[in-house]
Amino acid sequence: MSTGDGRSIETSSLYLVEDRVTTFEGSRWPFESGTCTAVKMAEAGFYYCGSVSNPDWVRCVVCHQDMEGWEESDNPTKEHKRSTPGCAYLKLKDPYKITFADVLELERCSIENYSSLEEEKLVNDLESLVDQMRDQLTAAVKNIQTTY
């Protein structure tokens, strides 16, 4: 997995707040004060994926929800809960006191969520391919009908 600026991210190393904060270092994250700082984003489960065109793009380490369009006054945890209320990361009592059992559960959920997202992409791609083939077959049949 990589960020928008080409940096490689290994999500399994990002279960600690401190590790997620490092993804914001040297980035284009636009907020250094207020409630939407890099630390607050990391505490809410997000790591930085931004780019020149999307400087405030983040992703949750567990549910893989991409979010952007942040404002300095946004509360990252509240926005995360609003966007994906079932995210397993949000069930942690204290993101700074994560246990080995927590990591195992977060990893299980992360893999499950990632698999679901990839499955959805594949299904959409397949449906698009079927539509293209249907259109091509319809055009071919019409061509044959007008020829004979």
Q: What percent of the chain shows pLDDT beyond 70?
A: 92
E-strand stretches of the chain: 46-48, 58-60, 66-67
Q: Are 46 and 37 in contact (CB under 8 A)?
A: no
Handedness of CA 63, 61, 59, 87 (dihedral sign): positive
Q: How many CA atoms lie within 13 A of 48 on its CB side?
A: 28
User: Quick one: pLDDT at residue 146?
Assistant: 84
Interatomic CA distance for residues 84 and 74, integer angstroms: 16
User: Quick one: pLDDT at residue 143?
Assistant: 86
Three-class secondary structure of residue 5 per DSSP:
coil
pTM: 0.75
Rounded to whole angstroms, what are the CA distances from 63 to 46, 47, 50, 55, 127?
10, 12, 18, 21, 24
Q: Are 77 and 44 in contact (CB under 8 A)?
A: yes
Higher model confidence: residue 113 or residue 13?
113
Q: What is the mean pLDDT of the chain?
A: 89
98-139 pLDDT tens trace: 999 999 999 999 999 999 989 999 999 999 999 999 999 998
User: Quick one: pLDDT at residue 12?
Assistant: 54
Q: Are 65 and 84 in contact (CB under 8 A)?
A: yes
* Residue 106 located in a structural domain: yes
82-91 pLDDT tens trace: 999 999 999 9
User: Quick one: pLDDT at residue 3?
Assistant: 45
* Residue 1 located in a structural domain: no
Res. 9: pLDDT tops 50: no
Domain of 101, CATH number, reads: 1.10.1170.10
**Total of domains in the chain:** 1
Identify the bridge partners of residue 67 per DSSP, sorted by sequence position. Answer: 58
* Residue 62 located in a structural domain: yes
Residue 68, domain extent = 11-147
* Residue 65 located in a structural domain: yes
Strand order through the sheet with 66-67: 46-48, 58-60, 66-67
* Residue 5 located in a structural domain: no
Place 13 in a pLDDT band, splitting at 50, 70 and 90. confident
Interatomic CA distance for residues 87 and 82, integer angstroms: 10
Res. 39: pLDDT tops 80: yes
Place 71 in a pLDDT band, splitting at 50, 70 and 90. very high
* Residue 46 located in a structural domain: yes
* Residue 91 located in a structural domain: yes
